[in-house]
Amino acid sequence: MIDGTHTPAAPTAPAAPPGLAAATARRAELAQSLHALHSGGRVLVLPNAWDAASARLIEDAGASAVATTSAGVGWGLGSADGERLDRQRALELVRSVVAAVRVPVTADVECGYGDDPEAVAETVRGVLAAGAVGVNLEDASYGAQDGAQGAAMRPADEHAARIAAARSAADDAGVPLFINARTDIYLKSVGDPKERFAETVRRAGAYVAAGADGVFVPGVVDPQTVAALAREIAVPLNVMAGPGAPSVGELARLGVARISVGAAIAQAVHALTQRAARELLTEGTYTSFADGLGYPELNGLFGRRP
């Protein structure tokens, strides 16, 4: 059993100007709320957003928090997934999502946008400045020629050092950032299938010891494995669901604390765009548009409040 969890640190930042102090206090409050959403036997369901409009629609649908998807964000900004997006553009997108909603935002920052722990710390400082209060940090390592599915895995101790740097940066800022440590052993089918469970648990233990608040294991949804992971990992377990996966209720009964869907909603939206464009250009008809949201509803999302 992995023992030990990260207890959110009380804000310890030095005295700051009133405006900055108020912003830090607000971020700390949102971060504590995000932590609470993972506790008490509840399950946090995150329909992932990729821009301000999708974030607002997700919030209006009743989401308690908003998570971004790096793939959806990258595609929307004209970039492939897999750390092809530069840090500054990614952070600008996070800032626009935060500005669009009132609920806590957790940002998918891929591997942290940098080669070393200090670069990850700099990314975390940027995330906090943008107003987000959680991050996903994955243990892949993207090379110049790697695609989204072609990345190598970082050694566990190397990724743990990156998590520790992220934790230190957040603590220095006085915000108990929720660090969701992602391991891609199952997603990337790494190694002998018989050893994947043990390796995932081993990595999870190292990441929790380094300061992670939760562990994300995408690529596995079979009930037996999910239940075993939930038992062996003492921090909240996040899985990625989609068509063919157990329902939210079933995953919750297995011990899952957080359910996200990655780029699935963005993919569905882009599929509709493709169908509608093809219909218009080949058939000259408009049936694909029939179930679209009304202009007043969408425009009103951004007219109601700042």
Give the model confidence (pLDDT) of 203-249 as tens digits.
999 999 999 999 999 999 999 999 999 999 999 999 999 999 999 99
User: Is the pLDDT score of 48 beyond 80?
Assistant: yes
Q: Which residue has the higher pLDDT, 213 or 142?
A: 213
Cα(192)–Cα(147) distance, rounded to whole angstroms? 22
pLDDT at 145: 47
Residue ranges making up the domain that contains 183: 29-263
- What is the pLDDT at residue 238? 98
pLDDT at 6 over 50: yes
Backbone phi, psi, residue 85, to 5°: -85, 140
SS3 state of residue 233: coil
- Rounded CA-CA distance 62/69 in Å is 18
Contacts of residue 46, Cβ cutoff 8 Å, sequence gap at least 6: 63, 65, 66, 67, 106, 258, 259, 260, 261
Residues 257 and 238 sit within 8 Å (Cβ to Cβ): yes
Whether residue 152 is contained in a domain is answered as: yes
Helix axis angle for 117-130 and 87-100, nearest 10°, is: 30
Q: Of 150, 162, 86, whose CA–CA distance to 124 is shortest?
A: 162
260-287 per-position pLDDT tens digit: 999 999 999 999 999 999 999 999 999 9
Tell me what pLDDT residue 9 has.
Answer: 52
**CB neighbours of 137 closer than 8 A, spacing ≥ 6?**
109, 111, 112, 120, 159, 162, 163, 166, 179, 180, 181, 182, 212
- Total count of residues recorded for the chain: 306
- For residue range 55-71, list pLDDT tens digits in order: 999 999 999 999 999 99
Q: Is residue 305 part of a domain?
A: no
Q: With respect to residue 306, please indicate whether it lies within any of the assigned structural domains.
A: no
Do the strands 237-240 and 214-216 form a parallel or antiparallel pair, or are they unpaired? parallel
Is the pLDDT score of 5 beyond 80? no
Is 272 inside a domain boundary? no
* E-state strands within 121-263: 134-138, 140-141, 152-153, 178-182, 214-216, 237-240, 258-260
Q: What CATH number corresponds to the domain at position 182?
A: 3.20.20.60
Q: Tokens representing 268?
A: 């569905």
The count of structural domains within the chain is 1
Q: What is the mean pLDDT of the chain?
A: 92
105, containing H or E segment = strand 105-108
The pLDDT assigned to 227 comes to 98
For the chain, percent of residues with pLDDT exceeding 90: 85
177 pLDDT more than 70? yes
Is residue 268 domain-resident?
no
**What is residue 143's predicted lDDT score, i.e. its pLDDT?**
72
Q: Is 300 a domain residue?
A: no
Q: Is the pLDDT of residue 54 over 60?
A: yes
pLDDT at 13: 46
Please report the pLDDT score of residue 305 as a whole number: 56
Q: Please give the pLDDT value at position 8.
A: 55
Of the candidates 69, 77, 66, the one whose C-alpha atom is nearest the C-alpha of residue 50 is: 69
Write out pLDDT tens, residues 84-130. Answer: 999 999 999 999 999 999 999 999 999 999 999 999 999 999 999 99
Band the pLDDT of 146: cuts 50, 70, 90: very low
